[in-house]
Structure 1
């Protein structure tokens, strides 16, 4: 006998989920689409799961809803989960987590990353990097670009080389923590992309930073 109440409960829960949005971006239309497609996919999965699992249609509906719903939501659903986990793990470290569509970016300030004129990872940087490595091992559907930045003090060529060495130091450390090397890339921008004025000490401190950008891997949607 088909267990209608179970299907009905799945449908109610999933349709209510369609109305919810990403807690970090209440206005982004992509989050509405993610929730809607995920909810509709889950409903279809519930029906399919119930039909496939003849012995226990209720259990089959629940499994079908979970599997097909997550797949139907696509990369946006995946990025929502990863963003939430990164915000939790980066809390109190000084690392800022930003989100723009499917792209997640982590801004790591110079006061926790490297000492002046050094590409050796500072002791205060290990905890954020270890947390990142844990996340990257768990969430493996995106590529990771590490970009080093400096202020404008000193020769431009020297700063370009220093920023590249710092970015590579981060990549090397993440690899040593078990992050797949094929997902990682590094780049040095030197002083060419300031986020504040180099005329003040505070502005120069903001410009000395490492940015880690996560984008969907090729073939992931």
Structure 2
């Protein structure tokens, strides 16, 4: 009986929180509502099928499920950090966006855009998590240092970003989730006057952004 009530409640919540796409006329449930409502149902079933102590212990985890997009990204961040520990890829979190910073010394040989063979396993780990968390948009951005002329650096950065995006797509990430941008030398994160600074500037970044709607 309780399961039936919870299911009816979910349908009511989702029906009340739909929006209509102005282009297609299709009704869509806002993702933040979908996550929260689904979490409520799961937690309700846990409480209905376990004793009171188990239900209380489950409540803490259920609170995270019901928190919406933030919790969705929290879980994704946690899995990425676990998968990428010790690989040299930095994981940075800002709000509902996760950034992966891939330095060129582990991704590409100097002045090349073909991915190093030893980096395949790392990208496989990234792809495994991205495939699981489908409600995100992915921006792959290539950067270079200031060595060489602007046009050459722009082309190299675009090709490196394309290489990463193509590899992820070949691992099952839909192309419509991927945007590829080459920034050349235009966005340094360190001083190009030193070898150490130039090494930091040669990088590919992957921005993982929650799809709101």
Fold in common (TM above 0.5): yes
Q: Contact (CA 8 Å) 1:149, 1:207: kept in 2 or not?
A: yes
> What's 1:139 paired with?
133
SS at match of 2:105: helix
Distance 1:50 1:154, change over 3 A: closer
Is structure 2 residue 95 aligned with structure 1 residue 101? yes
Is structure 2 residue 210 aligned with structure 1 residue 207? no
Q: Contact (CA 8 Å) 1:146, 1:185: kept in 2 or not?
A: yes
Aligned equivalents of 1:175 and 1:95: distance in 2? 19
SS at match of 2:200: helix
The answer for unaligned runs of 5 or more in structure 2 is 3-35
The superposition leaves residues 63-99 of structure 1 with CA deviations (integer Å, 9 ceiling, x where unpaired) of x969974552101111111111111110111001000
> What's 1:169 paired with?
163
Aligned equivalents of 1:57 and 1:84: distance in 2? 28
Is structure 2 residue 52 aligned with structure 1 residue 72? no
The partner residue of 2:107 within 106, 113, 116 is 113
Distance 1:216 1:205, change over 3 A: same
CA RMSD of aligned residues (A): 3.0
Aligned equivalents of 1:86 and 1:57: distance in 2? 32
- TM (norm. structure 1) is 0.70
> What's 2:177 paired with?
183
Number of residue pairs the alignment of both structures matches: 175
> Which fold has the larger relative contact order, with Cα–Cα distance below 8 Å and residues 6 or more apart in sequence?
2
Aligned equivalents of 2:85 and 2:159: distance in 1? 27
Aligned equivalents of 1:146 and 1:50: distance in 2? 40
> What's 1:30 paired with?
none
Segments ≥4 residues shifted beyond 2 Å: 48-51, 56-59, 64-72
> What's 2:11 paired with?
none
The answer for unaligned runs of 5 or more in structure 1 is 3-37
The partner residue of 2:211 within 195, 214, 217 is 217
- 1:22-171 pair list within 5 angstroms: 49=45, 69=63, 71-171=65-165
